[in-house]
Each structure stands twice: as C-alpha cells, then as structure tokens.
C-alpha cells in the first residue's frame, strides 16, 4: 500500500515537473513573440510619425522657400529665426526631437532650416541656415542619387536617432531633403517598459503555475482538470489582451490616415469658402449694376404708356423705346450669363488670354468702380495664349481689383486710379493708394492674415496664391511702386494644340 502511494506520488511529481517545464518554455516563447510583435508595431508607428512630421514641414515653409533657399544670402537671419521657432513648435506638437531641411552642393550637405530644443533656443546654439553638416552618412550623401525614402539609425554630435530622410523636388526642379529624428533611447525606453510588463506578467503566471504544480501531487483528477482549465483561461486572457493591443495600433494607423486626408481637403474647403464670400460680393455688385438699366426700362415703358393714353402715338418714338428696352433686357441677360458662367465648376484647362479674361472681369465689376469714381486705365500691349481655368483666374483678378478699390476708398485718395497692363502672358494690376506697409508685405499671402480687421476673412489673397501657383501652374507676386501696390500674374504659355 505504501509502495503504491509512493509510486503514485512519484508519478504525480514527475508530471508536475514536466508540466512546469512546458509552461516555462511556452511562457518564454510567448514573451519573445509578444516583444518582437510590439517592437515591430512600435517602429512602424514611429516611422509613420517621422514621415508625417517631415512632410508637415513643407506645408509650413512653402515651396517658395525651397526654390530660393539654395542661394546663401536668400534667407535673412530674421527669417531663419522665425522658421526655427515655427518648426520647433511643430516638433513639440508631433513629439519628435528634430525636423529639418537640407540640400546638397558640391557633394556636401547644408542645412536650410531646422528645429531646436528648448535648451538650444535658450543658449542660441541651434542649427542655422546654410550650416554645413560635416557628419553626413553615405545614405544621406547618396539620397538624391537614388531618389527614395530612407530610414536609418544615425549618430552625430546631437545623439543617436531613428531618422527619416525624404528626397523632394519643387515644380521648378530644385532638389532638397526633408528629415525628422526621434531619439533611440526614447524608443528603447518604451520597449523596456513593455518588456518589464511582459516579464512581470509571465512571472505572475509562472508563480501560479508553480503553485498549481505543487498542489497537483495532492489533488484529485477533477481538481487537476480545474487547474488546467484555469491555466487555459489565463492563456486566453493574454491572447485577448494581445489582440486588443494590435487593434489599438490598427486604430491609431487609421486615425493618422484620416488626419492626413483632412489636411488634403483643407485647401479645397478654403477655396469653396472664399468662393461663397466672393459670390455675396458679386451679387451686391450685380444688384447695383441692374439699377440703371431697370430705371431706363421703367422710363421707356412710362413714355410709351403716356403716348398711348394721350393718343399721341409716334411710331418712331415707340420703336426707339422698344429698341432701348430690348437692349437693356439683353444687357441684364448677359450679366446673368456671366455670373452663372463664373460660378460654374470647370474641370478642364482651356486655351485663353488675359484680354478675354479681363473682359469677363469688367462685365462683373466695372459698375462698382464707376460708382466709386475710380478711374480704370487699361493698356493691352501684347497678348499671348496660355492654358488655364478661366473662372478661377477671373476670381483672382476680381479679388485683387476689389482689394485695390477698398483701399482707395478707405484712404480717400484724390483721383483714385487702377492701372491694368497686359503684356504677353503677364497681367499687372497697380493702384495709387501708396503701397503696402513693408512690415507686413511678406505676410499678405498667409492664411487668415487681413488688414481689414473684422471686415476681412484673410482668405482672399491666400486662396489667390494657391489658385495661381498650384491650380494654374503660374506665379503671383506683389511689389510696392512709387504710386502704390502692384500685383503681377504670370501664366505659362499654352501647350494645348
């Protein structure tokens, strides 16, 4: 009997040890798989964050910056400091260490702009415009040659980082590099935290398993089955938590994609908003334009009525009045057509010229200029064809003329004048209101920047810039002259055959 109990004890003990070993091996294997899975997900999320941070830099600096930044004296110290502060704020929002732009010249890498840490901002020891980067890696030096996005682990005097490097090119063919860094020690810290959690979880599991293994020697078969069931439940809980973690990371990726999509729609919404505002202004102008022909039609009908009532019917007078009424009705009809065509969406580029486009502009807002006694001087020197979206160009030109009209009225200029010159594929609009303050002239194309206070949206010139440069592939810029502000629109010559 004793031998039988001893044999049963030895069998139970052996089974308990084997069970414990199997659980230990399984625990180590699961821990390794969980760690590697989380590490892969973490690096994927970090790489997405770096890419979003680097690409966001282009939106902040704008394409004009990259076109001129390769010339050493094109960016002033004041502009550079302003760029450093803007980019540094972006690094705080996106939770990365550095964001920067570079370009390559004579097989050397130079910074054109970079963020700075709080310590660097305080000590003024930050990376500045046109600083030479003497620790460039082979990957960085060959980036423009192979023209593909690179991720690397880089070490320099600032530390060791996970780095993204993206080669880019402006519409004018200027090549440049944008990059972003996250410190490796921060990444490793997150991995260590997760590893500690895994180890703690597995230790807890192992303690429970060890306790159950020791009790196994004394328990019945039923109790042993209950223990196995509990162990299975623990494995299922761990698997469930791992699945939830994977779902959480998937949700995070989706959220990043949605935010990127929202940013892409932002400009389109602004265009639509600007267009609605201009529609209201246009309706007001048309209402004023219609008063004169409506009054003329009314006068003509009264004249005909008086002639009929007095039985003094003169065929020539009646015929002349009828012709005038028809002329005014056609004018009103043409105005409606111009208004409808202006706001009709057009998806296809058509061949046109500034003379045709200017005629459409004047048909919509010439009355407003006459009402405010503003002299309009037009000089059509020479005319060349170009490809564009006519309605969008009409919108831009009306907006610039309306701004000139507003400032001439606000400053109460004597002999207010707007001069328009068409020469080849260039149109200039100049007023005699004294020009734009030099302190703000560089900001007038910024979104929500307005000199009209509560009466301005700050979107007109910003959207005009986007329409001309991004939609129509042209250029829009402003300078001060002796008389006032002069806006110039330059369009690429026609390619439509």
Walk across the sheet containing 475-480 and list its strands: 375-383, 417-424, 426-431, 485-490, 475-480
Tell me how far apart the alpha carbons of residues 446 and 20 are, in angstroms, rounded to a whole number: 68
Tell me how far apart the alpha carbons of residues 112 and 158 are, in angstroms, rounded to a whole number: 17
pLDDT (average), residues 206-234: 60
pLDDT (average), residues 175-201: 84
pLDDT (average), residues 139-153: 89
Tell me how far apart the alpha carbons of residues 371 and 304 are, in angstroms, rounded to a whole number: 29
Question: For 348-490, CATH number?
Answer: 3.30.565.10
Q: Which residues are 418's β-sheet partners?
A: 376, 431
| Terminal-to-terminal C-alpha distance of the chain | 107
User: What is the per-residue pLDDT for 165?
Assistant: 94
Q: Compute the radius of gyration of the chain from its Cα atoms.
A: 37
Tell me how far apart the alpha carbons of residues 303 and 317 are, in angstroms, rounded to a whole number: 9
pLDDT digits (tens, 9 = 90+) for 287-301: 545 655 665 577 667
pLDDT digits (tens, 9 = 90+) for 340-382: 555 555 557 788 899 988 988 887 777 778 888 899 999 999 9
User: What is the per-residue pLDDT for 423?
Assistant: 93
Rounded to two decimals, what is the model's pTM?
A: 0.39
C-alpha distances out from residue 77 to 39, 73, 114, 128, 130, Å: 42, 10, 13, 9, 11
Q: Which residue has the higher pLDDT, 227 or 258?
A: 258
Torsion of CA 181, 186, 188, 189, to 10 degrees: -170
Is residue 410 a contact partner of residue 385, using CB atoms and an 8 Å limit?
no
Range of lowest pLDDT (181-185, 199-203, 395-399): 199-203
Tell me how far apart the alpha carbons of residues 331 and 324 are, in angstroms, rounded to a whole number: 11
CA 445, 449, 455: angle at the middle one, nearest 5? 120
Tell me how far apart the alpha carbons of residues 168 and 158 are, in angstroms, rounded to a whole number: 24
pLDDT digits (tens, 9 = 90+) for 38-81: 888 888 889 898 999 888 888 888 888 988 888 888 889 899 99
Find the farthest-apart pair of alpha carbons in the chain and give their distance in angstroms, rounded.
145
Is residue 365 a contact partner of residue 402, using CB atoms and an 8 Å limit?
yes
pLDDT > 50? residue 241: yes
C-alpha distances out from residue 342 to 38, 248, 276, 337, 429, Å: 55, 48, 12, 8, 20
What pLDDT band is residue 107 in, cutting at 50, 70 and 90?
A: confident
Tell me how far apart the alpha carbons of residues 100 and 90 are, in angstroms, rounded to a whole number: 11
User: What is the per-residue pLDDT for 5?
Assistant: 47
Give domain 61-187's CATH architecture. Answer: 2-Layer Sandwich (3.30)
User: What is the per-residue pLDDT for 485?
Assistant: 92
Work out the mean pLDDT of the chain and round it to a whole number.
78
CA 330, 333, 336: angle at the middle one, nearest 5? 155
Tell me how far apart the alpha carbons of residues 145 and 178 are, in angstroms, rounded to a whole number: 15
Neighbours of 11 (CB within 10 A): 11
- 3-state helix/strand/coil string of the chain: CHHHHHHHHHHHHHHHHHHHHHHHHHHHHHHHHHHHHHHHHHHHHHHHHHHHHHHHHHHHHCHHHHHHCCCCCCCCHHHHHHHHHHHHHHHHHHCCCEEEEEEEECCEEEEEEECCCHHHHHHCCCCCCCCEECCCCHHHHCHHHHCCCEEEEEEECCEEEEEEEEEEECCCCCEEEEEEEEEHHHHHHHHHHHHHHHHHHHHHHHHHHHHHHHHHCCCCHHHHHHHHHHHHHHHHHHHHHHHHHHHHHHHHHHHHHHHHHHHHHHHHHHHHHHHHHHHHHHHHHHHHHHHHHHHHHHHHHHHHHHHHHCCCCCHHHHHHHHHHHHHHHHHHHHHHHHHHHHCCCCCCCEEECHHHHHHHHHHHHHHHHHHCCCEEEEEEEEECCEEECHHHHHHHHHHHHHHHHHHHHHHCCCCCEEEEEEEECEEEEEECCCCCCCCCHHHCCCCCCCCCHHHCCCCHHHHHHHHHHHHCCCEEEEEECCCCEEEEEECCECCCC
Tell me how far apart the alpha carbons of residues 319 and 426 are, in angstroms, rounded to a whole number: 46
How far is residue 236 CA from its own chain's centroid? 44
pLDDT digits (tens, 9 = 90+) for 16-30: 677 667 767 776 777
Task: Write phi, then psi, for 117 (nearest 5 degrees).
Answer: -75, 165
Q: Which residues are 387's β-sheet partners?
A: 351
Tell me how far apart the alpha carbons of residues 397 and 446 are, in angstroms, rounded to a whole number: 18
Select, from the ranges 94-103, 189-198, 303-312, 330-339, the one with the highest average predicted confidence (pLDDT). 94-103
């Amino acid at each position: 009997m004793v031998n039988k109990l001893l044999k049963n004890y030895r069998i139970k003990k052996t089974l308990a040890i084997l069970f414990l070993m199997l659980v230990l091996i399984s625990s180590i294997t699961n821990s390794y798989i969980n760690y590697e899975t989380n590490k892969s997900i973490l690096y994927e999320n970090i790489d997405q964050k770096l890419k979003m941070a680097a690409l966001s830099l282009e939106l902040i600096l704008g394409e004009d910056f990259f076109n001129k930044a390769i010339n050493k004296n094109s960016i002033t110290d004041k502009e550079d400091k302003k760029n450093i502060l803007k980019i540094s704020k972006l690094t705080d929002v996106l939770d990365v260490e550095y964001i920067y732009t570079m370009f390559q010249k004579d097989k050397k890498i130079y910074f054109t702009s970079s963020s700075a840490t709080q310590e660097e901002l305080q000590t003024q020891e930050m990376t500045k415009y046109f600083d030479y980067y003497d620790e460039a890696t082979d990957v960085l030096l060959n980036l423009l040659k192979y023209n593909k996005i690179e991720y690397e682990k880089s070490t320099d005097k600032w530390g060791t980082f996970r780095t993204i490097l993206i080669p880019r090119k402006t519409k004018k063919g200027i090549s440049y590099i944008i990059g972003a860094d996250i410190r490796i020690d921060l990444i490793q810290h997150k991995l260590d935290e997760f590893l500690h959690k895994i180890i703690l979880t597995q230790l807890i599991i192992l303690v429970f398993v060890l306790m159950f293994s020791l009790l196994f020697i004394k328990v019945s078969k039923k109790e042993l089955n209950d223990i196995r069931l509990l162990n299975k439940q623990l494995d299922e809980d761990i698997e469930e938590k791992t699945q939830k973690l994977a779902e959480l990371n998937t949700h995070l990726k989706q959220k990043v994609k949605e935010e990127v999509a929202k940013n892409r729609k932002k400009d389109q919404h602004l265009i639509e908003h600007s267009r609605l505002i201009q529609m209201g202004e246009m309706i007001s102008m048309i209402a004023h334009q219609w008063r004169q022909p409506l009054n003329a039609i009314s006068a003509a009908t009264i004249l005909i009525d008086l002639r009929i009532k007095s039985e003094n019917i003169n065929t020539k007078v009646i015929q002349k009045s009828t012709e005038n009424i028809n002329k005014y009705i056609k004018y009103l009809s043409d105005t409606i057509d111009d208004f409808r065509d202006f706001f009709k969406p057009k998806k296809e580029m058509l061949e046109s010229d500034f003379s045709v486009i200017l005629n459409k502009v004047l048909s919509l807002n010439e009355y407003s200029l006459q009402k405010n006694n503003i002299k309009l001087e037009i000089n059509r020197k020479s005319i060349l064809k170009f490809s564009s979206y006519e309605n969008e160009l009409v919108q831009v030109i009306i907006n610039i003329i309306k701004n000139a009209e507003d400032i001439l009225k606000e400053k109460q200029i004597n002999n207010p004048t707007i001069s328009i010159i068409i020469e080849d594929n260039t149109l200039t609009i100049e007023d005699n209101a004294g020009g734009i303050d030099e302190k703000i002239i560089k900001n007038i194309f910024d979104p929500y920047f307005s000199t009209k206070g509560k009466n301005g949206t700050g979107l007109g010139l910003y959207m005009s810039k986007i329409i001309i440069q991004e939609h129509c592939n042209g250029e829009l810029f402003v300078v001060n002259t002796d008389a006032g502000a002069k806006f110039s629109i330059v369009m690429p010559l026609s390619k439509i055959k």
